[in-house]
A and B are shown apart, each in its own frame.
Chain A
Amino acid sequence: MILASTLTTNLAILVLAGFIGFVVISKVPNTLHTPLMSGTNAIHGIVLLGGLLIVGLSGNGTFNKVILVIAIAFGTINVVGGFLVTDRMLEMFKSKPKSGDGGSGGEKGS
C-alpha cells in the first residue's frame, strides 16, 4: 500500500514535470537552442545523485565500488562540464561593449 502510493506520487511528479518541461522549453528561442541543449544536458547529470546515494549504502563489494566511482565521475563530468560550457556560450550572447577589432584573432589557430 505504502509502496503503491509512493509510486503514484512519483508518477504524478513525472507527468507534471513533463508538462512543465514542454511549456518552459517551448519558450526558448531558436537562437538559444544550443545552450539550451548543453544546459539541459548538464541538468541530467543529476544522475550523479544516484551514484552518491548508492555508494553510501552498506554491502557494496569492490567491483561495485569501482563502477560507482566511475558513475560518480561520469555524472560529475556531465554536470560540471555542462554548466561551464553553457556559461561560456551564453556569455558570448551578452551584448558586449564595442571593442575595436576583437574578431579574427579570437580563435586559436588551426
Chain B
Amino acid sequence: MASTFLQAQSFLDVLYIVAFALFIQGLRGLSGPTTAVRGNRIAAVGMTIAVIATLLNRNEGNWGLIVLGIALGTAVGVPAARQVKMTAMPQMVALFNGVGGGAVFLISWSEFRLTHGYQGTATYITIFSLFAAIVGSVSFWGSNIAFGKLQEIIPGRPISLGSGQQIVNLLLLILAVAAAVDIASGAHSQGLFIGMLVCAALLGNAVVFPIGGADMPVVISMLNAFTGLSAAATGIALNNPALIVAGMIVGASGSILTNLMAVAMNRSIPAIVAGGFGGGGAVEGASGAGEHAGTVRSTSAADAAIQLAYANRVVIVPGYGMAVAQAQHAVRELTKELEKRQVEVSYAIHPVAGRMPGHMNVLLAEADVPYDQLKEMEEANQEFGRTDVSLVIGANDVTNPAAKNTPSSPIYGMPILEVSNSHSVIVIKRSMNPGFAGIENELYYEPETTMLFGDAKTAVSEITAELAQL
C-alpha cells in the first residue's frame, strides 16, 4: 500500500512542486554573500527531491543503466568541480553548460526513436521536443567551442568565414527549422532528425567560432539561457513541472546576465552574435592610434610605493590582466601592507572585469579579499573624487575616458570606472599596447597618470616589498 501511495502521480507532482519551490528559495538566498552558501544547498536539496520523485515513478526500470549513467557523471563531475582553478571558472561553466545541452538533445533524440518519429504524440509535444533538440544541440556545440577557446585549445581570436558568415548561419538555422517543421508535420525519417541535429551542431560552431575572447562573458550567459530554455521545452514535452520551472528560471537568469554584460560593454547582443568584433574593433582602433600628442610618464615601483604609502584612500581597479598574471594574491598582500599603514583600500569592479559576469569578485574572494571592500561600478564612481591614488592593474578599456568624452570612439557610451577623477592614477601595464578593443586609452596621457610597466604580479610584489622597507 505504502508503495502505491508513493508512486501515485499526484504525490510525485507534490514532490516536484516542493523541488521547484526549493530552487526559487535557494536562488533568493543568492541575493547576499552571507545567505548564498545556504541558498545553493537549498537548491541542491530541491534537485535531490526532484531526482527521487522521478525514480519513484511506477514506470521506472532499467536500474542498471540509471546507476551506470549517474556513476559515470559523478566520476567526471566531482573531481572536475573540486580541482578547477578559480581563473578557469568560465571554461568550467561553459563545459557544464555544454553537457547540459548535450543531455537535452540526446533526450529528444531518444524520444524521437522511442515513438518512431513522434507517432501517436500530440503535435505540441513534438514541437517542444524538436525545439529542445535544436537549441540543446546549438548549446552543446557552442559551449564546447567556448570551452576550447577559453582553455586555449582553440585560438581565442575570432575565426570566421568573413562577410559570408551571417548568411551561412542563417542558412543553417533555416535548414534546421525546415527539418523540424517537416518532422512535426508527419515525416518519420530518422535521417531527417539527424540532419536537423547536424545543422544545429554546425550552427553552434558557426556562432561561437567568430567571437573573440573578450565577448565570452556574453556568449556564456547566452548559452546558459539557451540550455535553460531547452530544458523548459523538454519539461513541457515530458509534462514535468519541475523541469519547466527550473529551465525557465535559468532561461530568465541567463537572459538578464546576457543583457547586463552587453550593456556594460556597450554592445548589442545581435552585433556580438553576428560576430567578428575583435577584428572589427581592432581595425577601427588602429586607425585612431597615434593621434595623441600627450606624453606618458612612467614611474618606478619605489616611487609608486611612496605615493601609495602617503595616501589616505586607495582604490584598486583590477582587470582581466590581473587574473591572467595570477596577481590577485600579490594584490591582497599589497592591500594588507597598506592597511597596516592605515590606508583605506577598496576595489572598484567593472561588471565585465574578468571573463564572465562577476568573475573578478570570485578571484578576489579566493585571495581572501573581504567582499565589503569590493565596490560595484556606480558606488565606486561616486568615490573616485575623494580618492588619493587609483591603482589600475591589468584593466584598460573599462577605464578609458574616451567612453565619456569622445563621441567618435568605438566604445563611446560604455559605462566606465571614472578613475581619472581621482587625485592621481598609477597604471600597471605590460606595455603601451592598446587593450582588447584596440583603442588608445586617453587615461594614460592625462597629467595625473603615471605608468608602471611590467608584469602585474611582479610589479605588485615589488611595490609591496618597497612598502615594507619604507
Q: Which residues of A contact B (CB under 8 A)?
A: 3, 6-7, 10-11, 13-14, 17-18, 20-22, 24-61, 63-65, 67-96, 99, 102-104, 106-108
The answer to whether the Cβ of B407 comes within 8 Å of any Cβ in the partner chain is no
Q: Which residues of chain A are near B86, meaning CB under 8 Å?
A: 89, 92
Q: Which residues of chain B are near A34, meaning CB under 8 Å?
A: 89, 93, 354, 356-359, 361-362
Of the residues A84, A96, A102, contact of B82 by C-beta under 8 Å: A84
Minimum C-beta distance from B101 to chain A (A): 9
Are B250 and A87 in contact (CB-based, < 8 A)?
no
Are B106 and A68 in contact (CB-based, < 8 A)?
yes
Q: Which residues of chain A are near B113, meaning CB under 8 Å?
A: 61, 63-64
Minimum C-beta distance from A52 to chain B (A): 5
Are B376 and A31 in contact (CB-based, < 8 A)?
yes
Are B81 and A81 in contact (CB-based, < 8 A)?
yes
**A7 to B256 Cα, complex, angstroms:** 26
Name the residue in B32, B70, B92, B329 with the highest tally of chain A Cβ atoms < 10 Å from its Cβ.
B70
**A36 to B368 Cα, complex, angstroms:** 20
**A interface: dominant SS:** helix
The answer to whether the Cβ of B69 comes within 8 Å of any Cβ in the partner chain is yes
**A108 to B85 Cα, complex, angstroms:** 9
Of the residues A22, A69, A96, contact of B256 by C-beta under 8 Å: A22
Q: Which residues of chain A are near B69, meaning CB under 8 Å?
A: 51, 55, 68-73, 75-76
**A91 to B80 Cα, complex, angstroms:** 17
Chain B residue at minimal CB-CB distance from A10: B236
Of the residues A35, A87, A107, contact of B85 by C-beta under 8 Å: A107
Are B40 and A90 in contact (CB-based, < 8 A)?
yes
The answer to whether the Cβ of B239 comes within 8 Å of any Cβ in the partner chain is yes
Of the residues A48, A59, A83, contact of B40 by C-beta under 8 Å: A83
Q: Which residues of chain A are near B239, meaning CB under 8 Å?
A: 6, 10
Q: Which residues of B contact A (CB under 8 A)?
A: 20, 23-24, 26-28, 30-34, 36-37, 39-41, 43-44, 47, 50-51, 54-55, 57, 59-62, 65-66, 68-70, 72-74, 76-78, 80-82, 84-86, 89, 92-93, 96-97, 99-100, 102-104, 106-107, 109-111, 113-114, 122, 124, 220-221, 224, 227-228, 230-232, 234-236, 238-254, 256-257, 260, 326, 329-330, 332-333, 336, 349, 351, 354, 356-359, 361-362, 365-368, 370-371, 374, 376-377
Chain B residue at minimal CB-CB distance from A21: B252
**A68 to B104 Cα, complex, angstroms:** 10
A-B contact pairs, 8 of them (CB 8 A): A42-B47, A45-B103, A46-B242, A47-B231, A53-B59, A71-B106, A79-B77, A80-B81
Taking A34-B361, A73-B73, A74-B100 as known contacts, 15 extra A-B pairs with beta carbons closer than 8 A to each other, sorted by chain A number, are: A10-B235, A14-B232, A36-B253, A37-B356, A71-B106, A71-B107, A73-B72, A76-B72, A77-B76, A82-B96, A86-B40, A87-B44, A92-B362, A95-B34, A103-B333
**A25 to B10 Cα, complex, angstroms:** 30
Minimum C-beta distance from A66 to chain B (A): 9
Known contacts A43-B23, A46-B50, A94-B37: A78-B55 contact under CB 8 Å: no
Are A32 and B110 in contact (CB-based, < 8 A)?
no
Minimum C-beta distance from B146 to chain A (A): 13
Of the residues B89, B228, B248, B250, contact of A89 by C-beta under 8 Å: B89
**B interface: dominant SS:** helix
**A13 to B236 Cα, complex, angstroms:** 10
Are A47 and B362 in contact (CB-based, < 8 A)?
no
Minimum C-beta distance from A12 to chain B (A): 10
Known contacts A68-B69, A95-B370: A60-B357 contact under CB 8 Å: no
Q: Which residues of chain A are near B31, meaning CB under 8 Å?
A: 27-29, 32
Of the residues A20, A25, A86, A92, contact of B365 by C-beta under 8 Å: A92
Q: Which residues of chain A are near B356, meaning CB under 8 Å?
A: 33-34, 37
Of the residues B24, B124, B220, B242, contact of A20 by C-beta under 8 Å: B24
Listed from nearest, the 5 A-B pairs whose CB atoms lie closest are A76-B73, A72-B69, A21-B252, A33-B358, A81-B77
Are B368 and A103 in contact (CB-based, < 8 A)?
yes
**A14 to B351 Cα, complex, angstroms:** 29
Are A22 and B37 in contact (CB-based, < 8 A)?
no
**A80 to B80 Cα, complex, angstroms:** 10
Q: Which residues of chain B are near A93, meaning CB under 8 Å?
A: 33, 36-37, 361, 365, 371
Of the residues A78, A91, A92, A95, contact of B96 by C-beta under 8 Å: A78
Name the residue in A3, A48, A49, A83 with the highest tally of chain B Cβ atoms < 10 Å from its Cβ.
A49
Minimum C-beta distance from A110 to chain B (A): 8
Q: Which residues of chain A are near B227, meaning CB under 8 Å?
A: 41, 44
Q: Which residues of chain A are near B97, meaning CB under 8 Å?
A: 41, 44, 78
Are A35 and B236 in contact (CB-based, < 8 A)?
no
Are B93 and A38 in contact (CB-based, < 8 A)?
yes
